[in-house]
A and B are shown apart, each in its own frame.
Chain A
C-alpha cells in the first residue's frame, strides 16, 4: 500500500455565487485521524466534497500525492481515496454483497469480473463494518443504519490509503458508532488517513488526533482536541454554553453541554450564591434565566460549581484547588456579598476549609442583606466541621435568614424580594 498525502491549499468553493468554503487548507498524511467540526451550514460537507473530487474549487488546489486531484482520472483517484457520503440511496434491489463489490470497481479492468481476491477484500470490509451477515439481502430492504454500514464497507473495499467520511455515524446506534470509530482508529494506527466530519463533539474528542473547527466556511481554529475544545470556542462557534472537563478514563476533553434558556440577564436583583460541590450549579442557571445578576463564592478552582460558573461567565471569588479558603478569597467573597441584594446559601457540605463561607453569610445578614438558606437536607448531615458549621447555621437562622426547602420557591422569594 502506498500512502499518498492529500493536501488542500487555500480552497474556495461556491454554489452559484455563494461561497461555502472560503480559504481552507489542510494536509492529511498517513496515520492521521482528523475530525472536522462546525455548525450546520458551515461548509464542512462542501469542504469534504472538494477533497473528494466531487466539487471543483473556484480557487486553490487539492493535491493527491502531489498531483492536482481534478486533473487525475477518476479511476486513479478512486484507488487512493474513498469517500463515505452522509447518505446514499441505492436504486434497485442490489444485494449488499453486490454493492460492496462495486467498491472493487477501480481495481478491475473494463470487462474483468470480480475474482476471488476481490471477493475476499469485500468480505473483509463487510466483516469490519459488521454487515457480512447481510451479504445476500437486497439493500433496498435494509434499515438506514445497515445501509450506511454497507456503504462504509464499500468504501473500505476500495482499499485506499485515504478515507473521507461525512457524518458516517448519524444513522448508527451508539454501539455501531463506537465500533466504527474503534475500527477507523485501529486502521489509522496501521497507516490509513481519515478525515471525518462529525457532529458529536465528544466522540470527535475521543477518537480524533486533530480537530479542524470551521465556521462560515473559514477555519476558526485547529489543533489537538485539548487545544481546540474550550468553553470559549464552543460558545463562539456553536453558540452553546458548555463545561469542558476531562474524560475520566481517556483523559481527552469531555464536553458537558448546558441547557440554554432564554437569556434575560441582569434585569432582576443581584444575587450572591454561597455554594460548592455542584450544590449551586442548577440554581446559578435558573437565577440567570430568571434575570438575576449572579455572583458566587468562595469556590475552589475545579469545583463543579466553579466550572459551571466559569462557563456561565459569572463573577466569582475563587480559591486554589482543594485549599482552605484564604483571607484573600474571603475578602473577595465579602466584596461580592456587599454588591448583592440577596445572598443564597445552598445545601453545601461544610468542613474546616469552607467554614468561612458561612461567616460571609453572617456578615451579609449583619450588613442588612436578605439571606436565604436552601435546606433540602439538615445541616447536621452536612457538617464536617465537628459541629462548628451547625452552630454557625443556627446563628444564621436566629439572625433572620429565611429557610426554604424548594429551589423554585427560593427563586420566587429572591425575585419577589421577600423574606426580611
Chain B
C-alpha cells in the first residue's frame, strides 16, 4: 500500500499541476481581454476602461461612478468590447475544434478545416460576394450567413460521402475531407478570377479578420461556441478512450459511431460560427491544442478546457496586435497569429522533452 500512495501521489500531483495550468490560462485570458479593451487608436486609460466595463455588469455596475466621457464609453462598449469578445469566442471555437479533431482523427496535423468546414465557409462567403446577395438574418449580413451554411454543408457532404456500410471510418473522413476541400477551393478560385471587381472583397475576407465585429455577431456566435464547449467538456473522457483506436474504445464501452457523429457536429458548428464572422484565420486551431498539450499532457479533460482558454487568449492578443501595430490601419489577424504563434510553438517544441506525440 505504501507504493500505491507513491503513485497515486504522483497522479494527484499531475492533476494538481494541470489544474494550476488551467487557472493560469483563465487568469491570463481575463487580464488580456481587459487590457485589450483599453488599447487602441484612441487612448483610454486602463482604469477608466475597466470601470466602464464594470459599470455595465448587472448589480455591481451601480458601485462605479461615471467619470468618463460619452465618447470613451461609446468606443469601449460599442467598438472595442464586442471586438475583443468576438476574438475571444472565435479563438475558443477554433482551438476547441482543433483539439476535438486532433483527438478524433488521432492525427496531430488535424485542424478545424480538416473536414472541409473552412473551404465550405469560403465558398459560401464567395458566393455571397459574387452575387452581391443582401439578405440578412438576426443582424447578420449575407456573407456570414452564407459562410456558416457553406461550412455545415461541406462537413455534411464529407460525412455522407465517407460513410460506407453504415459507418464512416476516420481514414475515409480525412481523405474525403481533403479531396472535397481542394474541390471547393478550386471553385472559390474560379469565382475570384471571373469576378474582377469583387475579387478584393473576397480576397480580404479569406485572409480573415475581426474588423467588422459587433454585438450582433457576438450574440450570433455565442450559442454555437457555448454548446461546443459544454458538450466537449462533457465528453472529454470519451475522447481519451478513442486514443486507443475505435475498436478498443468500443470495447471499453464507447458507442463510437454516435460519439464521432456528435463530436463532428459540435466541432463543425463551432468552426462554422467562428469562420462566418472572422473569415479564415489559420494557425489558432492547429497549434493551440499542441501548445496546451505540452503544458497539460494529453488527457482531454484538461486539454479541452485548456485549449478553449488558450485559443481565446491567443486570438485576443493577436487581434490586439493586428489593430494597434500600424494603427490606424490594420493587419489581417491571420498574419499575426502565424508570425508570433509559429516561433513560440517551435520554441516550446524544442524545450519539451517528449516532442509532440
Mark each residue of chain B from 21 to 53: 1 if its CB lies under 8 Å from any CB of chain A, else 0: 000000000000000000000000000000000
Stretch at the interface among A98-106, A227-235, A256-264, A360-368: A98-106
Residue contact A103 to B298, C-beta cutoff 8 Å: no
Among B253, B256, B297, B298, residue most surrounded by chain A Cβ atoms (within 10 Å)? B253
Complex Cα distance, B253 from A74, in Å, reads: 4
Residue contact A85 to B299, C-beta cutoff 8 Å: no
Residues of A within 8 A of B10 (CB): 135-136
Stretch at the interface among A76-84, A294-302, A310-318: A76-84
Residue of B nearest to A120 (CB): B4
Residue contact A54 to B247, C-beta cutoff 8 Å: yes
Q: Does A416 contact B (CB under 8 A)?
A: no
Residue contact B253 to A119, C-beta cutoff 8 Å: no
Mark each residue of chain B from 224 to 240: 1 if its CB lies under 8 Å from any CB of chain A, else 0: 00000000001001001
Mark each residue of chain A from 59 to 78: 1 if its CB lies under 8 Å from any CB of chain B, else 0: 00000000000000111111
Q: Does A111 contact B (CB under 8 A)?
A: yes
Residue contact A102 to B244, C-beta cutoff 8 Å: yes
Residue of B nearest to A54 (CB): B247
Within 8 A of A (CB), among B295-322: 297-299
Residues of B within 8 A of A91 (CB): 106, 243, 298, 357
Complex Cα distance, B9 from A119, in Å, reads: 11
Residue contact B234 to A110, C-beta cutoff 8 Å: yes
Interface of A is mostly: mixed
Within 8 A of A (CB), among B235-271: 237, 240-241, 243-245, 247-248, 250-256
Residue of A nearest to B10 (CB): A136
Residue contact A78 to B252, C-beta cutoff 8 Å: yes
Among A73, A95, A103, A132, residue most surrounded by chain B Cβ atoms (within 10 Å)? A95
Indicate which residue in A75, A90, A97, A136 contacts B244 across the interface (CB closer than 8 Å).
A90
Residue contact B11 to A53, C-beta cutoff 8 Å: no
Residues of A within 8 A of B248 (CB): 83, 85, 88, 151
Q: Does A144 contact B (CB under 8 A)?
A: no
Residue contact A54 to B4, C-beta cutoff 8 Å: no
Q: Does A145 contact B (CB under 8 A)?
A: no
Within 8 A of B (CB), among A240-290: none
Indicate which residue in B8, B14, B255 contacts A119 across the interface (CB closer than 8 Å).
B8
Residue contact B3 to A74, C-beta cutoff 8 Å: no
Residue contact B240 to A102, C-beta cutoff 8 Å: yes
Known interface pairs A93-B298, A102-B244, A119-B4; A54-B250 also in contact (CB < 8 Å): yes
Residues of B within 8 A of A106 (CB): 252-253
Residue contact B3 to A132, C-beta cutoff 8 Å: yes
Residues of B within 8 A of A95 (CB): 14
Indicate which residue in A97, A105, A135 contacts B252 across the interface (CB closer than 8 Å).
A105
Residues of A within 8 A of B299 (CB): 94, 98
Residue contact B251 to A94, C-beta cutoff 8 Å: no
Residues of B within 8 A of A49 (CB): 247
Q: Does B83 contact A (CB under 8 A)?
A: no
Residue contact B298 to A94, C-beta cutoff 8 Å: yes
Q: Does A138 contact B (CB under 8 A)?
A: yes
B207 to chain A, nearest CB (A): 32
Given contacts A88-B244, A90-B244, A136-B11, 18 further A-B contacts (CB under 8 A): A54-B250, A78-B251, A78-B252, A82-B251, A91-B243, A91-B298, A93-B354, A94-B299, A95-B14, A98-B240, A102-B241, A103-B252, A106-B252, A119-B8, A119-B11, A136-B7, A140-B357, A154-B252
Can you list 28 residue pairs at the A/B interface with Cβ under 8 Å? Answer: A49-B247, A54-B247, A54-B251, A74-B251, A74-B255, A74-B256, A75-B253, A77-B251, A77-B253, A78-B253, A81-B251, A83-B248, A85-B247, A89-B245, A91-B106, A92-B243, A92-B293, A92-B298, A94-B298, A94-B299, A98-B299, A105-B237, A105-B254, A110-B237, A136-B7, A136-B11, A140-B357, A158-B252
Interface residue ranges, A against B (CB under 8 Å):
49, 52-54, 73-79, 81-83, 85, 88-95, 97-99, 102-103, 105-106, 108, 110-111, 119-120, 123, 132, 135-136, 138, 140, 151, 154, 158
